[in-house]
Each structure stands twice: as C-alpha cells, then as structure tokens.
Structure 1
Amino acid sequence: MNISDIATEEYIEVDVETRLGKVRSLFEQDNPKGIIVVRDGEYEAVISERELIQSHVEDDAKVAALVKPSRNAPAPKVNRHEDVRETARVLVEGGVKVAPVFEGDALWGIVTADAILGAVLDNLDALTVEQIYSDDPVTVGDGDGLGTVVNLLREHGISRLPVLDDEGTLTGVVTTHDVADVVVRGMSKATTGERVGDRDRILDIPVNDFMSSPVRTTTVDESVEEAVDRMLENDLGGLVVVDDGDDSQVVGVLTKTDVLRALTFTEEDHMDVQITNIALLDTISRDDIRQSLTEVLDKYQKMQVMHVHVRFQEHKEKLRGTPLIYCQIRVRTSNGQVAGSGEGYGAESAFRVALDKLERNVLEMKNYRSDEQYRGQLARKLNEL
C-alpha cells in the first residue's frame, strides 16, 4: 500500500501573515486534520496543536513567528507513492502527526497518523501493548494548575498526562487538546472581559477543572489492534496503561506515536534506531548514534535489543549560539525497557550524557537480574535440604 491510497485533501491552509490567535481558534472550532502554512502560495510548514501550546508566541503575532527555520524545521515531505512503513518513520522522526504529501513539487494532500493506523489496523493483532508502550509515565496531581501541565507537556515533549490524586490513584487524564480548549476559551473571556489581567489567572486553573474523566485505559496484555481500534473510535491520541489487577494504578501510557514507531521496526542486520526531531542533529549523525549505541549495548550479549528510540528536544536557552538540547534514549530489550536521558549544549553533547546514563542503567538492570537468578538458585537449594 502506498500513501496515495490514504492521503486526504481535508486540511486548512493559512498564510504566514495570519494571526496565531486565529489559528488557535481554528483548532478549537474546526478540529482540522492538519493546518498547512503557505508563503506566497507555496508550502512552508505544518502547524500542530501541540506546537501552538508549547509556543510562548502571543496571539497577536503572525504565524511566521512560529515557523521560522531558526525555530522549527519544516515538516518532512512525503512522496505520494511512498510506502506506509517509511511514512510512519517520517512522522515519528519529525515529531508530527500529519505530513504534506507531494507529487513532484506540487502539494497533493496530507497524510495523518490516524489514516496510517486505520490502514494497518488488521495487522496489529500480533502485537501486545506490553511490547510497545512507554512504561515510565509523567503524571500530574489533580490539584496542580494549568501552568504545571503546560510545563510538563513542553519539558517532556508529550501529549497527555495521567492525573493522580494524593494517594496515587488515577482520577483523570489531561491532553494538549484539553489545554488548547482552556487557553482559547480563557483568553477569549479575558480579552473581552472587564479585566484583561485575568488572563494571568488561567495558568492557576486546577487540573480537575478541565481533565477528562473517567479515563480510557488499556492493559499490557491487550492486543495493539484492540487498543488502537478504541483510540480511533473515540478520537483519542492515546490510552493510559493500568495494572491488570487494579485499574486505578498507572503503569504507563500507550500513544499513537508508540504504534507508529512499532510499524518502523525492521529485521535489518544493524540495530534499528529511531530518532525523533532528527533535524536537531548538528555535529553527530544517525550512523554515529547507531555506532555508539551498538558499542554500549554489545557489552551485554545476553540482552537482545529489539528497538532503540532516541528523542531530542530543543530548549530556548543557548550558550554562544548553541541551544540547550534534551536527549532521551529508550531501549526495548528481551529483558524489558531501559532508558537514559540528559541535557547538553548541542545534540551531540546531550546524546553523550544520555548514553552514559543509559549504560549505567543497563548495568544496573543486568546486575539486578543476576541477583534475582542467584536468589532463585539459593531458594531452590534450600528447598532441597
């Protein structure tokens, strides 16, 4: 199957001179599958709802302020005859849920994550949630404010947060869409009200005033096909993964991006490394990253590596023109998941810090499993006495 079978022309086009306030309203009112930005009629970029939330750019600014090359690399382009696997890789590595589809130099349409997942749904029954979900969820307290939510979403580059009460029990979930809804409604009231200063209070709105509850959940033993079918049916970007014996205890999160990433898994001889926000690479290449990871992970031959995901995220802070970068490395192995993260000025520096932490965590996991094996052997010997 190639992308022309599932691409669509259902998108909204805006000029770079359009006010960001209007674009934010378009997401709220029309819920478009994608917003294409053009300059003089030519494709410039794709704007997602998450980018709007993470941006500090004011409503009165023009779209151009958000899509400047110095701030955002343009969304990757997809050829209309590209296959599904490669297109999934393009979306994941670009950190986007929608990409423009081109025929030659002409914009032909857009392709969305939902369209890809719908097309491959019947082939996902062989996977379980346990094989692809993220097992270290970032959560928020039900008494925290909107400002805390925005900071967590921005800091971790994620789209949803499980909401927990004081006892750690799951009470709701808050997403980028929920935040956009609150911001659009709140800013509108603040602008038209008697006190424009009230907009500052929006960030203090408690989470339980705008979170979604009850929460749509899944468990690690459910098939990915069933989980994705529920996401598509209910227009959800992800599901909270809960303990099979206690649906109030959060163990992870499964998102559409996790599923797209699984579609890119290959049987190649070399290690399969997925990189999100690959445009941030500066003095380091994909091959450099793969080689460095191979050197670290090959030290532990008993651990079969199935997939590696490296995510980069740029912060505003800079040192002599080089941006502060956050890097997270997540490795999926036959012994479970292990990760390492770190920050540095430039992608290479951040990657080296994250790689060092990853190696420490891999060694810790290896030693823990060795201790488990020793305790098991000792217990068996004692039982034989």
Structure 2
Amino acid sequence: MDVSEIVDAEFDMFDESTPVSKLRGAFEESNRKALLITSDGDFEGIVTRRDVLSSHQKSNRKARSLVRPVPTVDRHEDLREATRLMIGGDTRVLPVLSGDDLVGVVRADDILEHVQSYLSVLSAADVSTSEVVSVEPETALGKALSTFRTERIEHLPVVSDENGDEVVGIVSLYDVLEFVTRELQRPTGGDADGDVGASKGGFGAREGESTDLLELPVRNVMTETVGTATRDETLEDVLDTMLEHGGSSSVVLDDDGALDGIVTKTDLLESLTWTDEGRLPVQVFGADLMTELTRDELAERIEEVAGKYRDMRVLEAKVHLHEHDETLRGVPLLLARVRLYTDKGTFMASGEGYGDRHAVSLALNSVERQILEGKTYGRSKKSPGGEELEKMYGWWLSE
C-alpha cells in the first residue's frame, strides 16, 4: 500500500523570508504542527510549532533561521517506508514531491487513521513505555521543562500521592511552551494570584517575567481529562481514545488504577515499522563486494553499536559498498556508507578501508561516535511475534 490515498493537497506554505512573528500567528490560528518553507519557490524544509515556541529569536527574524530539512516522498511511496522516514527524520509531516514540485503532504495522524483497524492485533503492553517519568501537581514548570529536555520526552503524567498515586492529569511540552510564550507576549491584564481554570489557563501582566512563570506549578497548565488504557487494550482502541480526547498520548493503568505506562502516537507509528525477522533487517547495496563479512555478522555489529545508546531500537539499516580502483595486496579499497534509521533519529557515516570488514568497521566507528554524543535514556518496548505481524502486515503484502 502506498501513500497516494492519504496525500493532502492542502497545506500551509511560507517563503523563507517570512517573519517568525507571522509563523507564530499561523500556528495560533490552526492546529498544525509544522509549516512548509520554500526558497525561490523550491521546497526548503519545515518549521515546527515546537521550533517557534521554544525559539528565543526576535519576532522580526526570518523563517530561514528556524527551517530544518526533512525527508520527502513521492505519492507512490510505500506507507511503511514513509513511516520509517518520519521516525528517522524526527518529523510528523512528509512533503510529497512530483519531480521538483511540491504537491501535498502526508501527516502522521492520517497514516494512523488509515491503518487503525490493523492495529487491533497489538496491545498497549506491546508498545508502551513501562519506566514512566511523572511529576506532581506542584512541580514547577521550570522543573518540568528540564525533565522534558533531559529525558528526551514530550509527555509527563501528573500523579498525586494524596489519592494513592492517582493520575490527575497530563502535561505536554507543547502545553508548557505555549503557556510561557503566550504569557510573556501578553502586555497587561489578569491576576497573578487568580485561578487558572479547570484544564489550562494563564496570567496577565507577566511580560519579561520568565523566571516567575517557570516557578508556577504544572497544575496550572496540565490537562485534567486524560486518555487511559489497560495493558491488554488493543492499539486500535488506544488510538480511538487519543482521537476522542484530541491528545497524542494515553496513560496505561494497572488493575488498581495506578500508573503503569504510557503510549504515544510515536509508539503507534513505530509499531508500523516492525518486521518479523529475527535479526535486524539490513539492506546491503553492493553485496557482491562482501567477501569477509556475512549478513548476520553485519547485523550483529550494527546492533552492538546501537546498544551503546542503551535501549535505542534500530528500525532499519542500509549499507552501501563501493569499490575503488586501488588495491593493497590484492584487496580492493572500499567505501562503506552506513545509515541507521532508529527511534532516536537517523545516524549516517562513511569509512574507507581495504576489504569490506575494514571499511564497514571504520564507518560503524564513526556512527558509534555520533550515537555516544547524543546519549539519552531508552524506552522499554516489546516486539510482537511472527503470527501477529503476519496479521498486521498481510494488507501491505497483498495490495
């Protein structure tokens, strides 16, 4: 199945010279998570809501100061490959090109809704993060922001110990960034000691008082209506709950109603990229040049490198081998280019060596250095069995 059925020809596009203030206004007027940026009419990249909210750029700065490149696809791209590109490129929107022309976008939500019925073969327990980081209602917003950054997460369940560790809300990175940005831009009005409201709220007269804002408790920003799931609930139903609440996560509760995990839309997307191969799927281009390494050895070496990032999961690996004219004692000089698509981003490096083992080893050493530079906490996930995958992906193979 390809993405042609879910390409959206309506999208928001701005030139790279657009002021950041105008981008901020565009986000405030819509629920878009990303805006497409062009340069002289050609697609350049995207600017995300998070980029704008977390930016300290002056409002008269231009979009080019925040733009970042993302993968592109054509309208006949395989749906699973498109999902891999989203995860590897850390984006929830993929521009669709026809030649050099931008003709539409594919969004993560559209992919999930399109395949929702096929998610019924997996449960929340299969994909949920079990080691959940949470905060209390009185935790300061500054502390929450620090937790988002250090844990590399975007959702924090809010738990109250007054009622036996009851989940009383959830706060997202967007909630905090939008609240702080809005209040710093508001010149007057409001009562600093007043109530914020049932779910979200704000204070006036706080322009420039960022320190005071960050000392406010998360209870003033959290969403109290929380989507919940049980461990054995299907992912189809979990997605239903997310869509019903307009959220991008659901907390998993145990039999006693206590916090037991969290499932995000990113988790659902990642489940679409799983394969039933016992070993990491590795695509080798120039496989005829492999005279020393076997595919199993190559996969084992890649998994060993990925393991330096704790629980980072490699979704797919691609290795390109190219032979040069130079030889040493009859062994050709090879260029090895390794690209790893992971749930923490994409890593790519090259290495030149005599023979495939030497060249690949040098390339993987470079990848390993990249991984160690971005070290973060992993996430606990359970991969499904072959029978579940056959049910889940039968439609991909048959269409």
Alpha-carbon offset, residue 289 of structure 1: 9.0
Matched, 1:246 2:263: no
Are positions 1:263 and 2:283 aligned together? no
Q: 2:242 aligned with 1:231, yes or no?
A: yes
* Contact preservation (8 Å) 2:141, 2:217: yes
1:145 corresponds in structure 2 to 140
Per-residue deviation, 1:54: 4.3
CA shift digits 1:62-94 (9 cap, x unpaired)? 222222xxxx4x111111100111111111111
Q: Which runs of 5+ in 1 are unaligned?
A: 274-286, 299-306, 311-326, 330-345, 362-385
1:338 alignment partner in structure 2: none
SS at match of 1:78: coil
On the 8 A contact 1:19/1:59 being kept in 2, the answer is yes
Q: Closer, same or farther in 2 for the Cα pair 1:197/1:122, shift >3 Å?
A: closer
Amino acid corresponding to residue 184 of structure 2 in structure 1: M
Q: How far did 1:7 drift?
A: 1.1
Taking the aligned partners of 2:211 and 2:129, their CA distance within structure 1 comes to 34
Per-residue displacement from partner, 1:282-321 (whole Å, max 9, x unpaired)?
A: xxxxx999533545999xxxxxxxx9348xxxxxxxxxxx
Secondary structure of the 1:174 match is strand
User: TM-score under structure 2 normalisation?
Assistant: 0.66
**What is the rounded CA distance, in whole Å, between the counterparts of 1:161 and 1:123 in structure 2?**
28
Q: Which residue of 1 aligns with 2:180?
A: 183
Q: How does 1:10-25 map to 2 (within 5 A)?
A: 10-25=10-25
Pair 1:217-2:228 in alignment: yes
Aligned partner of 2:118 in structure 1 is 123
Number of the residue aligned with 1:207: 218
TM-score by structure 1 length? 0.68
* Aligned-partner Cα distance in 1 for 2:280–2:25: 43
Measured in 2, the distance between the counterparts of 1:288 and 1:96 equals 32
Name the CA shift for 1:54/1:196 in 2 (closer, same or farther; >3 Å): closer
> Structure 2: which 5+ residue stretches go unaligned?
190-203, 283-295, 316-341, 345-365, 381-399
CA spacing shift, 1:272–1:19, aligned 2, 3 Å:
same
Matched, 1:112 2:107: yes
Distance 1:84 1:53, change over 3 A: same
SS in 2 for 1:246: coil
> How do 1:308-347 residues align onto structure 2 when only pairs under 5 Å count?
308-309=313-314
Give the direction of change, closer, same or farther, for the CA distance of 1:102–1:199 in structure 2 (3 Å limit): same
Equivalent AA in structure 1 for residue 226 of structure 2: V
- 2 CA distance for matches of 1:120 and 1:328? 20
Aligned partners of 2:372, 2:298: CA distance in 1, in Å?
9
Distance of 1:66 and 1:289 partners within structure 2: 38
Question: Bigger relative contact order, structure 1 or 2, given CA contacts below 8 A and separation 6+?
Answer: 2
Pairing 1:1-385 to 2, within 5 Å after superposition: 1-32=1-32, 34-67=34-67, 72=68, 74-166=69-161, 168-190=165-187, 196-243=207-254, 245-247=255-257, 249-268=258-277, 270-272=279-281, 290-292=299-301, 294=303, 308-309=313-314, 348-349=368-369, 351=371
CA contact (8 A) 2:83 2:273 kept: yes
CA–CA distance in structure 2, aligned partners of residues 288 and 253 of structure 1: 35
* Residue pair 2:183, 2:207 contacting (<8 A) in 1 also: no
Q: Structure 1 residues 13 and 294, CA, compared in 2 at 3 Å: closer, same or farther?
A: closer
Residue 98 (structure 1) shift: 1.0
* Distance (Å, rounded) in 2 between the aligned partners of 1:289 and 1:179: 43
Query: What code does the residue aligned with 2:11 have?
Result: Y
Q: For residues 145 and 10 of structure 1, do their structure 2 counterparts lie closer, same or farther at Cα, with a shift above 3 Å needed?
A: farther
Q: Provide the aligned C-alpha RMSD in A.
A: 3.5
Whether contact under 8 Å (1:218, 1:227) holds in the other structure is yes
Q: Give the whole-Å Cα distance in 2 for the aligned partners of 1:352 and 1:155.
A: 15
Aligned residue for 1:81, secondary structure, equals coil
Kindly provide the CA deviation profile for residues 266-285 of structure 1, in whole angstroms up to 9, marking residues without a partner as x. 13463158xxxxxxxxxxxx
Kept in 1: contact 2:42–2:100 (CA 8 A): no
Distance in 1, Cα, partners of 2:133 & 2:22: 31
Q: Give the secondary structure class of the aligned counterpart of 1:134.
A: coil
Shift of 1:199: 4.2
Note the alpha carbon deviations across 1:243-272, whole angstroms, 9 max, x for none.
Answer: 1x122x222210111111110111346315
1:221 and 1:240 mapped to 2: Cα distance?
Answer: 13
Aligned residues: 300
